[in-house]
A and B are shown apart, each in its own frame.
Chain A
């Protein structure tokens, strides 16, 4: 099915849910509101066969407008088609629904976005830092984080036996210590 015909079909189906749809090079780009993202991704996966979430990242726009733009890269393994879904989250209230129920691979991607930008994904089973050490203050990839920021060293931490991806006893103990800070 050619790209422009697929685009017309998507425009008819998703007309009330999305903001805009455009063709860029050989993939499509869709802009959606923050509250509709779960429904749009569920329909794209079930009805149109985009069964793989290749990537979930975030862009910080500090100069023009105060938003974080969250980008979902979807890929269909049968038809080899890509679609990129973008949403915008305001910086004052950086919260969005988690898509772990739709794509399991979103688990670590969303932890990385939280760790680097501070966007909280609600209903995520394991919302804590993944790349930086526990006790790190700040979110490094934001545009207003100084590149030469220095933090004090951490001492030896106590060894906690790791648990599975959905949580466990050691995770509850960690959650008492870690508080999700937002400003």
Chain B
């Protein structure tokens, strides 16, 4: 949206930011990149007992062009890194990443030659969920925290993301 750059940093921009943030946080389209057990746990979060569509993140799109939230659930190997990076690069701005589980956050209990020790060496991650696997309530808590983080983002500035190289 380029209209508010005319106004600069003013009252109208804040109002537009608030409306845009409200729209974005209540209609997240997740892309579940499930490779292992955390993928099954994500399916449990989507099902009827712990319903994720209460928070708006109901529509699952398996294409990166049509989604804006990448949930990396499961162990990621070194061989999978180019694939994951390519999928992240194909998503459109604004995009968010959740690292679900111990394996995606830090490598988990696999301290060896094959497993990447944390997704944040390759992608900028917004929310980390600990657990092996995390309870579905923890995944819902992560979605709520992501929504609070999106509320504070303004439309003007590009979101600064931490990338540890």
Contacts and interface: CB of A to CB of B under 8 A. Distances in A.
B81 A148 contact: no
A162 B121 CA distance: 29
B78 A157 contact: no
Interface string A39-72: 0000000000000000000000000000000000
Nearest to B122: A153
Contact of A140 (B81, B85, B113, B116): B113
23 contacts: A131-B114, A132-B78, A132-B79, A132-B113, A132-B114, A140-B112, A140-B113, A140-B114, A145-B113, A147-B113, A149-B113, A150-B117, A151-B78, A151-B113, A153-B78, A153-B116, A153-B121, A154-B81, A154-B82, A155-B82, A155-B85, A156-B85, A157-B82
Contacts of A131: 114
B61 to A, nearest CB: 22
Contacts of B78: 132-133, 136, 151, 153-154
Interface in A134-176: 136, 138, 140, 145, 147-151, 153-157
A132 B85 CA distance: 18
**Is the interface on chain A under 10, 10 to 19, 20 to 34, or 35 or more residues?**
10 to 19
Interface residues of B, number: 14
Interface string B62-94: 000000000000000011011001100000000
A65 to B, nearest CB: 25
Interface in B98-122: 111-114, 116-117, 121-122
Interface of B: 78-79, 81-82, 85-86, 111-114, 116-117, 121-122
Interface in A92-151: 131-133, 136, 138, 140, 145, 147-151
Contacts of A157: 82
Given A132-B79, A147-B112, 11 more contacts: A132-B114, A133-B79, A136-B78, A140-B114, A148-B111, A148-B112, A150-B117, A151-B78, A153-B121, A156-B85, A157-B82
Nearest to B121: A153
B106 to A, nearest CB: 14
A31 to B, nearest CB: 31
A148 B110 CA distance: 10
A46 to B, nearest CB: 39
Contacts of B114: 131-132, 140
Contacts of A155: 82, 85
Contacts of B86: 156
A136 B116 CA distance: 14
A157 B83 CA distance: 9
Contacts of A149: 113
A129 to B, nearest CB: 10
Interface string A75-90: 0000000000000000
B81 A153 contact: yes
